Amino acid sequence: MNDRIALIGLSLLLAACGARDRNDGADAQVRSLGTVEVTARLVEVPEGAVFHRDLYDYATILKYEVVAVHRGAVAAGATIFVGHYDPWKPRAEAADKRVQGIGGTVRRFRAGDLHRMALETPMDDVFMGGIVDKYFGKREGPAYWAVWTNEAN
């Protein structure tokens, strides 16, 4: 009987670990906010694009490669550029009096990470403020505004 209980406990533990490993980043917010929803890999975080300034709120543009399109008109495999507000803050803490309705589970931005995002485009229609764009003059297409950004794997 003890072996059976141990086996059941081990099975539940392995199932829980496996479920965590298969996180697709989907939740009610990412599925309903914005007009575009993608899963994309963060290609790079350019030097100087993310910095902490308590008295200065800004958005920074980051480069992504689209892995899957869940809603909207974006091609899988496309390179997109996404603006994140106050990127030095965890997404769950990014909203403030100036920019509301944003969030997510991403705690920090690291090249290679996979994110499921609800986006708006063009970014200029949604955000009027300081923008750090290390790709200015080097990119084509619109900048997307990150409404909700979740970790995925």
pLDDT tens by residue, 5-53: 444 444 544 455 544 467 999 999 999 999 999 999 999 999 999 998 8
What element of type H or E holds 11?
Answer: helix 2-21
Predicted structure pTM score: 0.84
Lowest-confidence region among 16-20, 45-49, 77-81, 87-91? 16-20
Give how far Cα 108 sits from Cα of 66, 124, 136, Å.
19, 24, 23
Q: In this structure, what token pair is assigned to residue 92?
A: 């769950």
24-152 placed in CATH 2.40.50: yes
Measured CA to CA, the distance from residue 129 to residue 127 in angstroms comes to 6
Domain ranges, ordered by start, for the chain = 24-152
Measured CA to CA, the distance from residue 138 to residue 94 in angstroms comes to 27
